[in-house]
Chain A
Amino acid sequence: MHIVDRRLNPGSKSFANRQRFLRRAKDMVEKAVREASKDRAIGDLESPGEISIPSEGTREPTFRHTQGSRRDLVLPGNKDYVEGDLIERPRGEGEGEGGGGQVGRGDGQEDAFRFILSRDEFLSIFLDDLELPDLAKRRVAQTEKEGLRRAGYTTTGTPANLALHRTLQTSLSRRIALKRPKQSTVDDLERRLAEAQSRDDAESERLAAELEALRNKRSRISYLDPIDLRYRRFERFPKPVTQAVMFCLMDVSGSMTEHMKDLAKRFFMLLHVFLTRRYKRVEIVFIRHTDRAGEVDEDTFFRSAETGGTMVSSALQEMLKVIRERYDPGVWNIYAAQASDGDNLSSDNPQTRELLQNQILPLCQYFAYVEVSGPNAETHGYVPHHGQSSLWLTYAALQKESEKFQMRRVSRREHIYSVFRQLFQRRAAKTAEVG
């Protein structure tokens, strides 16, 4: 008898099968992921997810019988039936139930089952086929630089790149391999020869010859040979400039309810997750405004409340100020997302439009505007809110002019994701739908 310990064998042999399954069930998994992300707290978005997939789409068909007109059941546990008894047909009897064991089942419908996705799987499906608009891609490509990185050793190179340690290692092994006499051996022999000579010994001649041979050998096998030399090798690789900054502009005026702020927050978090996965470095600037605007930290942005009127242009002014101070548009990819309930001081609208159109949009890769409204706005079948908001009307003209500017409305948490996707999906598949 053999005992074999397989515990150390690599586990998750099913990894490849899992990958095949995910690829297979991509549409359903995507849908499930979207469903699952609906109710998740935003902070959980980056943690692994458990999703349910309906088995329907991943059905494995085989020829199966329908129930047929007659079924024979042999059951254990008769208590008081006698031959010829009639039994009421059980109500809602499922197929296969009581069907006499594992065999003879009808068309067994499998239930949906849970599938646990790793964090990476979850996010890559979650953000799959989202992309920064083409405009941005071109910009990134232009600013690509070449970088250098270490790539092992080479036998040729400039002295500045000499890898001393590696060179001496090679030299040492060559010396050992060719049996080069050591310095200590030579010294020893020299000492003995000196002694012998001082004693005027007959041995001195032999020692002198031996020393001569050793020295010869040492000179033939040099301490450092050109073939020992090793140089550090570098290779060039394209180093994209992946710097991006995202401006989050949020209206926190009194008219923004908790619900609206929650929607806005979710939207910004999605944007954040998305950008951090696409770019190595993403900076986020939080700007909130009432009738005054200011840059704040994340915590303040999402948590503290304010009251006051609304002046959207103040936020845009603030954004311009920050760009001038810290983010050179030549180097940085600049994105902005604005969330507001659309209520703006009507006298401010022309200024807002002017700022956006002539100053901000030329600097930005992309500007997304999300108008948030109360939870019931759409359920009543009205045009959300009180008709077109003043800001919406102002912006609508802009959207026609520039692809860099997109706007959507959202009133319910579960729509956030689809709105987000509409704003950031690949431009090739442009949607005609607006708002």
Chain B
Amino acid sequence: MRGELLYEGKDWDFGTIQRIHDAVADIAHKELGLDTFANQIEIITAEQMLDAYASTGMPLFYKHWSFGKRFAQHEGIYRMGLQGLAYEIVINADPCISYIMEENSATMQTLVIAHAAFGHNHFFKHNYQFRQWTDPEGILDYLSFAKAYIANCEERYGHAEVERLLDAAHALMPQGIDRYPRKRPLNLHMEEKREQDRKEERERVYDDLWRTVPGRAHGAKQLASDKRRALLGLPQENILYFLEKAAPRLRPWQREVLRIVRLIAQYFYPQQQTKVMNEGCATYCHYRLLGRLHETGRIDDGSFLEFLTSHTNATRQPFYDSPSYNGVNPYALGFDMMRDIERIVREPTEEDRYWFPEIAGTGDAMEVLRHVWANYRDDSFIAQFLSPRLIRNWRLFHVVDDREQPHLEVSSIHNERGYRDLRRSLAAQYDVGGYAPDIQIVDVDLAGNRKLVLHHRVRDGKMLELTNAAMVLGHLANLWGYEVLLQEIDAGTEQVLKEHMVRPEAG
């Protein structure tokens, strides 16, 4: 069946956008089985796109000099023509908001709608990371609250004061994330019931003999310190959370600002962990959707070629020895893996059947993909689904760079023996636990000098970079109000490798 062309040439108007959206929605929902939040498409200018870029892609954000700096950086690059702007920004909200630029051609708008308004949208709605950590219905309200609150603080307490606080909070932003769901506070009713259950259980299993068993020898001092730490919820990796709750000198509005920065950091946390998958999903979807539009005669050959050009540019992966090599392109890796899964499901080889017995040959690619999109994040996704075939296609190899050795060593290549190692090593690079410094607050002496003690667990000799660490610790000490001690501890031997001691600035 051949449909009518959605548009001709490059020009578009609101009617075109509506037609494109409806045609894409039809295929997305009926043929690909995507399930999306309602869409809201907003048309903006290049300058507005730069604005949005500068404030982490959000349409409304509080004000801070660093966003001005980012704007200048982007603007400079853009004006010099070194780099085009992204064609779209999409916001994980319900309804899902996609920004498209007025300068885009009709085909680009189709691509963007397919990519963002359906691909990303579906991913946001279903991936467990987003379901667990983000509240798409509330985010815009929350951002507008945050913006107003901080503006209000600036008025009441002065720009400089708020700026100092935000600087400190931003420096600790990566340490303001809960990586595991925190235990939800119990309500009183539940508490009471639990206490009741406990009592009954004790009565049921009561055995007087237990009284005679000698207990472990706990020093009284040790007990007190354990108790103190338990009360403060230590060890605690979420430093911003700890400060918000426990820093003795902060005023209420300062706690609220820390909370705002922390919640926003948390909101972006799933995006960091699902970059490859999220872009892979969106790219795979737009590829299927545009292909289908072309097959059914809704877009002409010229438009399809234009689309293919953009698509190919986005999914280009230069080899390691190319001057344009800049790491693994998440669009390319994600897209290739999605296509590869589709292939394994539809037409598996013997090898695929051996490696992927669960999905090989089951036939319904979309069902498998939807399952994958919902239940993995980048590291687990790569660890599970990077196939030997793709490793060969990409000609991946693993190089170990040991500073002690005079040479780099190739530890595995794309052959039978290398597949597992390559898959594991690549997955490890996407593991947040692997690249973010593991820093925790371990103790504080609230009755004594109130010194805050932190541990950084050092793996593979990766110590903290000094200049930055000193600056961040300075911020931390100012927020805490008392001395801060950071010990770098070897994760294997538990030896203290280095100590950083910082005092808060006077005043």
> Taking beta carbons and an 8 Å cutoff, which residues of A are in contact with B?
1-7, 9, 11-14, 16-25, 58-79, 81-89, 98-104, 106-107, 113-116
Q: Give complex CA distance A19, B320 in Å.
A: 41
Q: Tell which of A4, A83, A106, A115 has the most Cβ of chain B within 10 Å.
A: A83
Nearest chain-A residue to B166 (Cβ)?
Answer: A20
A102 cross-chain contacts in B, Cβ below 8 A:
275, 327, 330
The answer to whether A114 and B435 touch across the interface, beta carbons within 8 angstroms, is: no
Q: Spot the interface stretch: B27-35, B171-179, B207-215, B344-352.
A: B171-179
Find B327's partner among A2, A6, A66, A98 (CB 8 Å cutoff). Answer: A98
The answer to whether A70 and B460 touch across the interface, beta carbons within 8 angstroms, is: yes
B425 cross-chain contacts in A, Cβ below 8 A:
72, 74
Shortest C-beta distance, B93 to chain A (Å), equals 12
B72 lies within 8 A of chain A by Cβ = yes
The answer to whether A70 and B48 touch across the interface, beta carbons within 8 angstroms, is: no
B422 lies within 8 A of chain A by Cβ = yes
A1 cross-chain contacts in B, Cβ below 8 A:
18, 21-22, 25, 38-41, 117
Nearest chain-B residue to A16 (Cβ)?
Answer: B63
The answer to whether B395 and A101 touch across the interface, beta carbons within 8 angstroms, is: no
Q: Give complex CA distance A19, B319 in Å.
A: 42
A87 cross-chain contacts in B, Cβ below 8 A:
399, 407-410
Find A66's partner among B18, B50, B67, B464 (CB 8 Å cutoff). Answer: B464
Nearest chain-B residue to A52 (Cβ)?
Answer: B76
Shortest C-beta distance, A96 to chain B (Å), equals 9
The answer to whether B69 and A103 touch across the interface, beta carbons within 8 angstroms, is: no
Interface size bracket, B side: 35 or more
Listed by A's residue number, 11 A-B pairs whose Cβ atoms lie within 8 Å are A2-B41, A2-B95, A6-B42, A13-B55, A21-B66, A61-B469, A63-B464, A83-B410, A83-B413, A101-B329, A115-B72
Shortest C-beta distance, A24 to chain B (Å), equals 4
The answer to whether A107 and B465 touch across the interface, beta carbons within 8 angstroms, is: yes
6 interchain residue pairs of minimum CB distance? A77-B319, A21-B68, A68-B462, A17-B68, A69-B461, A61-B471
In addition to A16-B63, A76-B394, A102-B330, 14 A-B residue pairs with Cβ atoms within 8 Å of each other are A2-B39, A3-B18, A4-B42, A20-B64, A20-B163, A62-B173, A63-B468, A63-B472, A64-B465, A69-B403, A71-B400, A75-B319, A77-B319, A78-B397
The answer to whether B330 and A101 touch across the interface, beta carbons within 8 angstroms, is: yes
Nearest chain-B residue to A13 (Cβ)?
Answer: B51
Shortest C-beta distance, B314 to chain A (Å), equals 15
A65 cross-chain contacts in B, Cβ below 8 A:
435, 437, 462-465
Q: Give complex CA distance A343, B439 in Å.
A: 70
- A7-B44, A20-B63, A20-B65 as given contacts; A69 in contact with B460, CB under 8 Å: yes
Q: Give complex CA distance A67, B47 in Å.
A: 38
B408 cross-chain contacts in A, Cβ below 8 A:
86-89
Shortest C-beta distance, A76 to chain B (Å), equals 5
The answer to whether A7 and B321 touch across the interface, beta carbons within 8 angstroms, is: no
- Is chain A's binding surface mostly helix, strand, loop or mixed? loop
Find A77's partner among B51, B73, B321, B330 (CB 8 Å cutoff). Answer: B321
The answer to whether B72 and A60 touch across the interface, beta carbons within 8 angstroms, is: no
B335 lies within 8 A of chain A by Cβ = no
- A1-B40, A77-B395, A100-B429 as given contacts; A83 in contact with B418, CB under 8 Å: yes
The answer to whether B428 and A18 touch across the interface, beta carbons within 8 angstroms, is: no
B73 cross-chain contacts in A, Cβ below 8 A:
113
Find B462's partner among A62, A66, A116 (CB 8 Å cutoff). Answer: A66
The answer to whether B68 and A67 touch across the interface, beta carbons within 8 angstroms, is: no
Q: Tell which of B71, B170, B467 has the most Cβ of chain A within 10 Å.
A: B71
B322 cross-chain contacts in A, Cβ below 8 A:
77
B180 lies within 8 A of chain A by Cβ = no
A104 cross-chain contacts in B, Cβ below 8 A:
429, 434-435
Q: Which residues 62-103 of B have a CB within 8 angstroms of A?
A: 63-69, 71-73, 75-76, 79, 95, 99, 102
Q: Give complex CA distance A177, B317 in Å.
A: 76
B202 lies within 8 A of chain A by Cβ = no
A82 cross-chain contacts in B, Cβ below 8 A:
410, 413
B406 lies within 8 A of chain A by Cβ = yes
B396 lies within 8 A of chain A by Cβ = yes
The answer to whether A21 and B65 touch across the interface, beta carbons within 8 angstroms, is: yes
Q: Give complex CA distance A84, B400 in Å.
A: 10
B465 cross-chain contacts in A, Cβ below 8 A:
64-66, 106-107
B398 lies within 8 A of chain A by Cβ = yes
Q: Give complex CA distance A71, B405 in Å.
A: 12
B463 cross-chain contacts in A, Cβ below 8 A:
65-66, 68
Find A59's partner among B67, B397, B406, B471 (CB 8 Å cutoff). Answer: B471
Find B403's partner among A5, A67, A113 (CB 8 Å cutoff). Answer: A67
Q: Give complex CA distance A40, B435 in Å.
A: 46
- A1-B25, A116-B72 as given contacts; A61 in contact with B399, CB under 8 Å: no
The answer to whether A23 and B65 touch across the interface, beta carbons within 8 angstroms, is: yes
B182 lies within 8 A of chain A by Cβ = no
Q: Which residues 317-355 of B have a CB within 8 angstroms of A?
A: 317-322, 325, 327-330
B315 lies within 8 A of chain A by Cβ = no
A103 cross-chain contacts in B, Cβ below 8 A:
429-430, 435
Shortest C-beta distance, B395 to chain A (Å), equals 4
Find A76's partner among B175, B328, B464 (CB 8 Å cutoff). Answer: B328
Q: Give complex CA distance A23, B403 in Å.
A: 43
A81 cross-chain contacts in B, Cβ below 8 A:
397, 410, 413
The answer to whether A75 and B320 touch across the interface, beta carbons within 8 angstroms, is: yes
Q: Tell which of A16, A75, A101 has the most Cβ of chain B within 10 Å.
A: A75
Q: Give complex CA distance A69, B404 in Å.
A: 7
A106 cross-chain contacts in B, Cβ below 8 A:
465
Find A69's partner among B174, B402, B469 (CB 8 Å cutoff). Answer: B402
B224 lies within 8 A of chain A by Cβ = no
B18 cross-chain contacts in A, Cβ below 8 A:
1, 3
Q: Give complex CA distance A116, B22 in Å.
A: 42
Nearest chain-A residue to B432 (Cβ)?
Answer: A103
Q: Give complex CA distance A143, B217 in Å.
A: 89
B496 lies within 8 A of chain A by Cβ = no
- A78-B413, A79-B395, A100-B328 as given contacts; A18 in contact with B66, CB under 8 Å: no
B45 lies within 8 A of chain A by Cβ = yes
B430 cross-chain contacts in A, Cβ below 8 A:
101, 103
The answer to whether A98 and B43 touch across the interface, beta carbons within 8 angstroms, is: no
The answer to whether A72 and B72 touch across the interface, beta carbons within 8 angstroms, is: no
Q: Give complex CA distance A116, B17 in Å.
A: 35
A77 cross-chain contacts in B, Cβ below 8 A:
318-322, 394-395
Nearest chain-B residue to A80 (Cβ)?
Answer: B413
Nearest chain-B residue to A93 (Cβ)?
Answer: B401
The answer to whether A63 and B402 touch across the interface, beta carbons within 8 angstroms, is: no
A14 cross-chain contacts in B, Cβ below 8 A:
50-51, 54-55, 67-68, 71
- A74-B425, A87-B409 as given contacts; A17 in contact with B464, CB under 8 Å: no
B398 cross-chain contacts in A, Cβ below 8 A:
72-74
B167 cross-chain contacts in A, Cβ below 8 A:
60
The answer to whether A71 and B401 touch across the interface, beta carbons within 8 angstroms, is: yes
B157 cross-chain contacts in A, Cβ below 8 A:
none
Shortest C-beta distance, A244 to chain B (Å), equals 34
Q: Give complex CA distance A152, B257 in Å.
A: 44
Q: Give complex CA distance A25, B163 in Å.
A: 13
Shortest C-beta distance, A72 to chain B (Å), equals 5
